[in-house]
Amino acid sequence: MTLIDDAIYVEGRRVATPASLTGTLEALDQLGGFAWIGLYRPDERELGIAAAEFGLHELAVEDALTGHQRAKLDRYADTRFVVLRPARYIDEHETVEFGEVHLFVGANFVIAIRHAESPDLRRVRARLESTPDLLERGPLGVLYAIVDQVVDEYEPVVTGLQADIDEIEFQLFSGDRAVTKRIYDLSGEVMELQRAIRPLTTILTTLRHDLESELREDPHALELRRSFRDVLDHVLSITEKTDEFRQTLSNALMTHTTLVAQQQNDEMRLLTETSLRQTEQAKKIAGWAAIIFAPSLVAGVYGMNFTVMPWLSSPWGFVIAILIMVGFGAALYVVFRFRGWL
């Protein structure tokens, strides 16, 4: 059974703890006040019992069973269906884990359904039971306390993300190749946090507007409006910080792209300079090889020992051959020198 706690409160005090969901409505009719039921990942049968007891709308029940909902506030007759996206920072992995809380808030009941470990709603219940004036505000007072807890738990997440983003600066200029993936991962976490937080502005504004029409009838409405306003201010502050995070990460990615491009340009320039030096060396080698080849060609021809060859019998033949070799080599040297090969 996923029933965490089931209590009935009258004038801010717990007066009964029904043993099962099926007895809650009967006890509530006898004692008055309101019921606060806590469920953890209920199955279809368990949630069906709660739906039958308190007349929950089937579409809201389907959303609560399916999960993976965006943060929102829907209204079905006199029952509000609120979805919250709590988050917690996992320091050892430097990641953000997101959960989901579904709340059915009626005139005389609150059904809180958790789909993750966070937030710990038992702490919220203990806090309210220690301050009966909050419980006297009824189901909307419980809703305020839960939303306040979820928003408060965003603060460590923001602090953790801030620390991670500060580390990015060191990684950017240290040449760490893994920084690109880290930036993308952090950007994804920041965007997910924004998707969890931004709808709260509309949710809290709507709740304050609803309470405005109840000021004359409900003595606690004014105080609740102030409480929701305080949470809204906190939400707006966190929203501004996440916007700054996203801009910082975007700038970091642009800076990293620029640094990588500059590094690649430096490597390409170094490669080009090396290639040019190799080309110059190849030219010099080719030039000297050609110069050496010229006398070798003449010497090779006259080394074939044919009987009939020009100047072979001439007393000046040797001198002429040497002059041809030197002249040929000198001419090539002048040409290569003029073209910059030597």
Residue 329's pLDDT is what? Answer: 72
pLDDT of residue 184: 86
- Residue 85 — very low, low, confident or very high, per pLDDT cuts 50/70/90? very high
What whole-number distance in Å separates Cα of residue 271 and Cα of residue 199?
53
pTM: 0.76
pLDDT above 60 for 1: no
Q: Is the pLDDT of residue 67 over 90?
A: no
Q: Is the pLDDT of residue 191 over 90?
A: yes
pLDDT per residue as tens digits for the range 273-304: 777 777 777 777 776 776 676 677 667 666 66
Q: What is the percentage of the chain residues whose pLDDT exceeds 70?
A: 87
pLDDT score recorded for residue 280: 72
* Pairwise pLDDT comparison (339 vs 185), residue with the higher score: 185
pLDDT band at 216 (very low <50, low <70, confident <90, very high): low
Q: In terms of pLDDT, which residue wins out, 46 or 154?
A: 154
What is the set of domains in the chain, with CATH numbers?
Answer: 1-129 (3.30.460.20), 271-338 (no CATH)
pLDDT at residue 132 is higher than 60: yes
3-state secondary structure the chain: CCEEEEEEEECCEEEECCCCHHHHHHHHHHHCCEEEEEEECCCHHHHHHHHHHHCCCHHHHHHHHHCCCCCEEEEECCEEEEEECCEEEECCCCEEEECCEEEEECCCEEEEEECCCCCCHHHHHHHHHHCHHHHCCCHHHHHHHHHHHHHHCHHHHHHHHHHHHHHHHHHHHHCCCCHHHHHHHHHHHHHHHHHHHHHHHHHHHHHHHHHHCCCCCCCCHHHHHHHHHHHHHHHHHHHHHHHHHHHHHHHHHHHHHHHHHHHHHHHHHHHHHHHHHHHHHHHHHHHHHHHHHHHHHHHHHHCCCCCCCCCCCCCCHHHHHHHHHHHHHHHHHHHHHHCCCC
pLDDT of residue 250: 87
pLDDT of residue 37: 92
The dihedral of CA 16, 18, 24, 30: what is its sign? negative
**pLDDT at residue 215 in the model:** 54
175 against 232, higher pLDDT: 232
| pLDDT exceeds 90 at position 311 | no
Beta bridge partners of 35: 8, 109
Q: Distance between CA 263 and CA 178 in Å, rounded? A: 16
**Mean pLDDT score of the chain:** 84
Region 30-43: mean pLDDT is 90
pLDDT value for 313: 66
pLDDT of 290 reads 66
Which residue would you say has higher pLDDT here, 267 or 149? 149
Average pLDDT of the segment spanning 43-50:
87
| pLDDT tens by residue, 297-309 | 667 666 666 666 6
Per-residue pLDDT band for 342 (boundaries 50, 70, 90) equals low
> What per-residue confidence (pLDDT) applies to 306?
61
| Region of poorest pLDDT, from 20-24, 162-166, 336-340 | 336-340
Nearest to 101 by CA among 139, 63, 157: 63
125-154: b (≥16 Cβ within 10 Å) or e: beebbeeeebbbbbbbbbbbbbbbbbbebb
State the pLDDT at residue 316. Answer: 67
**Dist CA 101 CA 120 (whole Å):** 11
Q: Report the pLDDT value the prediction gives residue 19, as an integer from 0 to 100.
A: 80
Where does the pLDDT of residue 257 fall: very low under 50, low under 70, confident under 90, or very high at 90 and above?
A: confident
Instruction: Please report the pLDDT score of residue 263 as a whole number.
Output: 74
What span, in angstroms and rounded, lies between the C-alpha atoms of 58 and 64?
A: 10
